[in-house]
Amino acid sequence: MLTINNAVKIFSQGTPNEHKALSGLNLHLERGEFVTVVGSNGAGKSTMFNAICGNFLLNSGSIFVDGQNITYMKEHKRAGFIGRVFQDPMKGTAPNLTIEENLALAYSRQKTGPFGAAVNKKNRDMFKEALSEFNMGLEDRMQTKVGLLSGGQRQVVTLLMCTLVTPKLLLLDEHTAALDPATAEKVMEITERIVDRNNLTTLMITHNLNSALRTGTRTIMMDSGNIILDVSGEERAKMTLDDLLNMYSLKKKEAFDNDRMLLS
């Protein structure tokens, strides 16, 4: 479903600030794989997502989604089949539009024809039903402006916006990191349910190593713009937090520089 070949991204090339954020990264995801992504700050995790979404062009390498070469495809075109949720709950939704208007906008964006946040009866019923499954009471607040919702509620609306029309790829960038633990847990549950039901091919960046091992089917660890660890199946099922940290130390021969990653 997703193939990244030898991706290189160099920021500020030719200046004293030159930095290779992706250094020959290779990754292949089968359809329906749910891969968690860990790695210390600055490892290149978000840069990998930015590359997939087309925020910039690679210096070299190529990216394929579903057999199609998207290496040079415009960002807005990729947005039609890639869903992305950021850490910041403010990012995915329009605060001055209501829940149903946000959903209508997301729903119309995926199709040809006029763009708009107009809501008709049929869509309203569909949105309501989808929201009610999350047991957050959002189905009774369809006309509430999204800016009035809590961070967790906004992340759930964003998740639904990204998946109303099934994306080929779902990218979650620490999407629960800004939430309190109980809300984060709830949003993770909803995430897993959405991914499961739609059999979505998913990459989820998380700083929570426990969650990384518990969630999904495969875990990759990034460091200095590359993947240094890739575990799945039985090896992953048996893996403890300590194993993961030890393997990292083994690869890196140095301790994690990010205290957050040690918290679970």
Cβ proximity to ligand ADP: between 237 and 255 the closer is: 255
How wide is the angle at C-alpha 196 spanned by C-alphas 190 and 197, nearest 5°?
90
Residues 152, 153, 157, 160, CA torsion sign:
positive
Taking CB under 6 A as the rule, does residue 256 contact ligand ADP?
no
Task: State the sign of the Cα–Cα–Cα–Cα dihedral 215, 221, 226, 230.
Answer: negative
The nearer residue to Mg ion, 42 or 80, going by C-beta atoms, is 42
Question: What is the per-residue burial (b if ≥16 Cβ within 10 Å, else e) of 95-127?
Answer: eebbbbbbbbbbbbeeeeeeeebebeeebeeeb
For residue 43, state whether it binds ligand ADP (rule: CB under 6 A).
Answer: yes
Q: Contact letters (x/-) for ligand ADP, 3-22, by CB under 6 A? A: --------xx------x-x-
Instruction: Convert residues 162-181 into a mask of x (bound to ligand ADP by CB under 6 A) and - (unbound).
Output: --------------------
Match 């998740």 to its residue by tokens: 159
Instruction: Report the distance separating Cα 221 and Cα 52, nearest Å.
Output: 17
Give the residue, chosen from 27, 39, 127, 131, that forms a contact with ligand ADP under the rule CB under 6 A. Answer: 39
Which of 31, 130, 143, 139 is CA-nearest to residue 96?
143
Q: Return residues touching Mg ion (CB under 5 A).
A: 45-46
- Phi/psi of residue 151, nearest 5 degrees: -60, -45
Q: Is 58 a binder of ligand ADP (CB under 6 A)?
A: no
The nearer residue to Mg ion, 46 or 98, going by C-beta atoms, is 46
Residue 91: CB minimum distance to ligand ADP, A? 15
Q: Binding segment for ligand ADP among 44-52, 107-115, 152-160, 237-245 (CB under 6 A)?
A: 44-52
Q: Which residues bind ligand ADP (CB under 6 A)?
A: 11-12, 19, 21, 39, 41-47
